[in-house]
């Protein structure tokens, strides 16, 4: 008879014996050179069977099923070692129902069995199952704790991770480097500096502060908490520093506005003979762009060219941004054309560079090329193009972009809606601006100010003041542009009394006496 397709262990254990034998025969033919069932199953060949079954479990999902079938047929289901391998293979394949069925069939699951199933659920982001399984474990080791802490941290349940970390200490379990790396990740996401410092003390107590990986995680955590001094201290206390730790430091210095320090760190890294990675290069290119240092940027570009003939998309994108920020659009265009990339992020960077350097027609040309090549513009693309349309008063192109936004469901994007209001206002299409405003579910200070400016342009000053009152009732705090718009409206409408009220309101606001809806 033909070989049936067994989709799971549950199907196998209910199938006729001849089907199981067919599975075993196929395993014999395909899995290994020595037929796995060529000898009778006794103590003399049990070890040999174990070796061959273990070797086939490194293969495909089907090999796993065949090995499992053989174990059932020849009475190897008491071998915990092999069952753990089967469990891991099903877990890696995403066959969680099969993995759980194997686990439930085990007569004597050990701590490895529990941790294997726990890790499989964690790998596929099933944190509820991980938590339930963890709580049902009678015996746990540090791998069990690390698995759940990692699952919480990666899925954004950082409070749960911190609670579990505290519980780990209460149950007298000794954390290791993996524990601290993942709990520092959770702390970084929460940006809780004091909690991070407490964890740092515990790392020191456990003697892991000299561990390079843990130290790098500390640098990253302090950077996310915006404490550059502690980040630098954690870095320079490391007995040895690899490219990952250097990149973390340079990235931290770049993100926190210390461009000179970042460049000094990069030069020191080179002096110590540590080779840069693309992540290091991207971080330092961002610094060069912020410093508007074209010479430093060119030197970095030379380093990249020395290391490889063509930069990848992310590095190339950073180069485009750096050259554009430094005012060298010729080099930016050259990198863009050399990349020949269809990645939206690269096109966005080039369009944004054209807008910033006032190359508006080139920006529209790039947008048109994107559409012709079948590329998918995103929110950043549309925002840049609408800004160009507002400046050039290109009503038809802006309307076309608006239609695309409606078709692709981007109209709930706050930034895009605000940009549309500004575009229609600049084109004096006030009915369209009001339509967009009324359709928006959320209004921020930019939305209100843009709409007030639109009314002010048409001389509808009472509507400006009415909108401001509504804005206060919505408890949206005005910014400087809001106040300027109101003052212009007061001046143009010769509304002296309203101007005095606004002046008084500004004085109260600066003294911290502002009450919502008071003007």
* DSSP output for 132-150: HHHHH-SS--HHHHHHHHH
Q: Are residues 227 and 165 in the same domain?
A: yes
CA distance 246 to 252: 10
When pLDDT is cut at 50, 70 and 90, the band that residue 81 belongs to is confident
| Average pLDDT taken over every residue of the chain | 80
The answer to whether position 272 is within a domain reads no
Higher pLDDT, 137 or 497: 137
Question: Which of the four pLDDT bands, split at 50, 70 and 90, describes residue 499?
Answer: low
pLDDT for 244-253, tens place per residue?
999 999 988 8
Q: How far is CA 144 from CA 80, 120, 166, 205, in A?
A: 19, 12, 15, 22
What pLDDT shows up at residue 119? 86
**Residue 60 shares a structural domain with residue 22:** yes
| Per-residue pLDDT, 13 | 39
Do 105 and 131 lie in one domain? The reply is no
Q: How far apart are the first and last CA of the chain?
A: 87
Measured N-to-C along each axis, helices 111-123 and 142-154 cross at an angle, to the nearest 10 degrees, of 10
> Please, how many CA atoms are within 13 Å of residue 109, restricted to the half-sphere of its CB?
23
Host H or E run for residue 67: helix 61-73
Q: How confident is the model at residue 135 (pLDDT cuts 50, 70, 90)?
A: confident
Residues 178 and 218 in one domain: yes
Q: What is the mean pLDDT of residues 165-193?
A: 91
- Higher-scoring residue by pLDDT: 36, 94: 94
The residues, ordered by sequence, that sit 6+ positions from 74 with a Cβ below 8 Å of its Cβ are 24, 37, 41, 49
* Whether residues 97 and 64 fall in one domain: yes
**Are 129 and 234 in the same domain?**
yes
Structural domain boundaries, residue 463 = 443-519
By CB neighbour count within 10 A (0-12 exposed, 13-18 middle, 19+ buried), where does 454 fall?
buried
**What is the distance between the alpha carbons of residues 117 and 84, in angstroms, rounded to a whole number?**
9
At 435 the three-state DSSP class reads helix
State the average pLDDT over residues 488-509: 61
The answer to whether residues 250 and 280 touch, using CB atoms and an 8 Å cutoff, is: yes
**Is the pLDDT score of 494 beyond 70?**
no
pLDDT of residue 14: 41
Contact partners, residue 96, CB within 8 Å, separation at least 6: 90, 120, 121, 124, 126
Sequence-distant (6+) residues with CB within 8 A of 304 are 281, 311, 315, 319
The pLDDT, as a whole number, for residue 169 is 87
Domain contains 309:
no
Task: Check if the beta carbon of residue 423 is closer than 8 Å to that of residue 455.
Answer: no
Q: What is the pLDDT of residue 33?
A: 40
Examine the pLDDT at 102 and tell me if it is beyond 60.
yes
Q: Which of 164, 97, 88 is nearest to 126 (CA)?
A: 97
Per-residue confidence (pLDDT) for residue 17, from 0 to 100 = 41
127 and 94 within one domain? no
Q: What is the pLDDT of residue 165?
A: 92
Has residue 295 been placed in a domain?
A: no
Closest alpha carbon to 218 in 257, 252, 243: 252
Q: Which of 25-39, 101-115, 237-251, 300-314 has the highest mean pLDDT?
A: 237-251
Residue 257 lies in a domain: no
C-alpha dist (Å) from residue 258 to 126, 127, 227, 290, 342: 40, 39, 12, 10, 33
Of residues 355 and 75, more confidently modeled: 355
Asked if the model's pLDDT at residue 359 lies above 60, the reply is yes
pLDDT one-digit tens code per residue, 298-322: 877 877 776 555 668 888 898 999 8
Q: What mean pLDDT do residues 67-76 have?
A: 69
CA angle 378, 330, 388 (to 5 degrees): 40
26 contact partners, CB below 8 Å, separation of at least 6: 3, 66
In a shared domain, residues 105 and 126: no
In 3D space, the residue among 124, 71, 76 whose CA is nearest the CA of residue 100 turns out to be: 124
- What percent of the chain clears pLDDT 70, i.e. is strictly above it? 79
Give the model's confidence band at 178: pLDDT under 50 very low, under 70 low, under 90 confident, else very high.
very high
pLDDT tens readout for residues 392-422: 999 999 999 999 898 888 888 899 999 999 9
Write down the pLDDT at residue 462: 80
For the chain, helix (H) and strand (E) counts, in that order, are: 30, 0
Phi, psi for residue 412 in degrees, rounded to 5: -85, 0
Burial of 206 (0-12, 13-18, 19+ CB in 10 A): middle
Tell me the mean pLDDT in the region 59-87: 71
How much of the chain exceeds pLDDT 90, in percent? Answer: 32
Q: What value does the mean pLDDT take over residues 156-175?
A: 89
Residue 55, class by beta-carbon neighbours within 10 Å (0-12 exposed, 13-18 middle, 19+ buried)? middle
Q: Looking at residue 510, what is its pLDDT?
A: 55
Domain final residue, candidates 171, 205, 240? 240
Is residue 456 located within the same domain as residue 390?
no
Determine the Cα–Cα distance for residues 204 and 365; give it in Å rounded to an integer.
Answer: 57
For residues 446 and 480, the answer to whether their CB atoms sit within 8 Å is no
Write down which residue in 432, 460, 487 finishes a domain: 432
pLDDT on residue 73: 67
Average the pLDDT over 119-146 and give the result.
85
- Cα–Cα distance, 214 to 199 (Å, whole number): 11
How many domains, in total, are found in the chain? Answer: 4
Q: What is the pLDDT of residue 40?
A: 39
Distance of CA 269 to the CA centre of its chain: 27
Same domain, yes or no: 95 and 31: yes
Task: Answer yes or no: is pLDDT of 43 > 80.
Answer: no
User: Dmax of the chain from CA atoms?
Assistant: 105
Picking from 182, 215, 240, the residue at the C-terminal end of a domain is 240
Among 42-46, 387-391, 499-503, the minimum mean pLDDT is found in 42-46
pLDDT score of 509:
62
Confidence of residue 381 (pLDDT cuts 50, 70, 90): very high
């Amino acid at each position: 008879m033909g070989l049936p397709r067994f989709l799971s262990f549950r199907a196998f254990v209910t199938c006729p014996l001849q089907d199981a034998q067919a599975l075993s025969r196929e395993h014999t033919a395909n899995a290994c050179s020595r037929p796995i069932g060529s000898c009778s199953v006794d103590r003399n060949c049990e070890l040999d069977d174990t070796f061959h079954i273990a070797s086939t479990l490194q293969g495909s999902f089907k090999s796993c099923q065949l090995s499992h079938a053989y174990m059932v047929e020849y009475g190897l289901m008491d071998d915990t070692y092999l069952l753990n391998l089967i469990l891991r293979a099903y877990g890696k394949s995403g066959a969680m129902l099969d993995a759980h069925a194997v686990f439930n069939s085990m007569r004597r699951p050990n701590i490895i069995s529990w941790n294997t199933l726990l890790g499989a659920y964690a790998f596929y982001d099933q944190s509820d199952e991980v938590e339930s399984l963890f709580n049902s474990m009678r015996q746990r080791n540090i791998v069990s704790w690390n698995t759940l802490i990692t699952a919480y941290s990666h899925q954004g349940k950082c409070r749960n991770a911190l609670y579990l970390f505290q519980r780990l200490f209460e149950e007298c379990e000794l954390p290791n480097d993996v524990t601290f790396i993942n709990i520092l990740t959770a702390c970084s996401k929460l940006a809780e500096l004091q909690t991070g410092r407490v964890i740092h003390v515990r790392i020191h107590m456990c003697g892991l502060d000299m561990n390079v990986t843990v130290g790098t995680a500390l640098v990253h955590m302090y950077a996310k908490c915006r404490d550059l001094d502690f980040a630098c201290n954690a870095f320079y206390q490391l007995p040895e520093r690899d490219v990952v730790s250097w990149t973390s430091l340079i990235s931290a210095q770049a993100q926190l506005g210390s461009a000179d320090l970042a460049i000094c760190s990069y030069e020191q890294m080179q002096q110590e003979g540590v080779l840069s990675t693309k992540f290091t290069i991207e971080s330092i290119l961002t610094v060069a762009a912020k410093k508007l240092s074209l010479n430093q940027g060119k030197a970095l570009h030379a380093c990249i060219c020395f290391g490889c003939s063509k930069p990848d998309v992310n590095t190339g994108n950073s180069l485009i941004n750096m050259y554009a920020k430094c005012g060298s659009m010729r080099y930016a265009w050259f990198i863009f054309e050399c990349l020949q990339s269809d990645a939206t992020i690269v096109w966005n960077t080039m369009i944004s560079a054209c807008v910033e350097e006032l190359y508006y027609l080139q920006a529209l040309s790039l947008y048109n090329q994107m559409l012709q090549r079948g590329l998918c513009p995103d929110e950043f693309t549309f925002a840049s193009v609408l800004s160009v349309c507002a400046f050039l008063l290109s009503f038809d192109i802006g309307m076309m972009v608006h239609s695309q936004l409606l078709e692709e469901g981007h109209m709930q994007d706050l930034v895009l809606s605000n940009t549309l209001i500004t575009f229609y206002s600049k084109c004096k299409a006030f009915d369209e601006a009001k339509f967009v405003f009324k359709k928006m579910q959320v209004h921020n200070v930019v939305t209100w100010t843009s709409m007030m400016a639109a009314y002010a342009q048409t001389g509808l000053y009472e509507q400006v003041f009415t909108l401001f009152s509504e804005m206060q009732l919505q408890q949206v705090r005005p910014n400087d542009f809001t106040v300027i718009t109101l003052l212009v409206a007061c001046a143009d409408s010769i509304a002296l009394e309203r101007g005095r009220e606004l002046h008084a309101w500004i004085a109260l606001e600066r003294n911290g006496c502002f009450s919502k809806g008071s003007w």
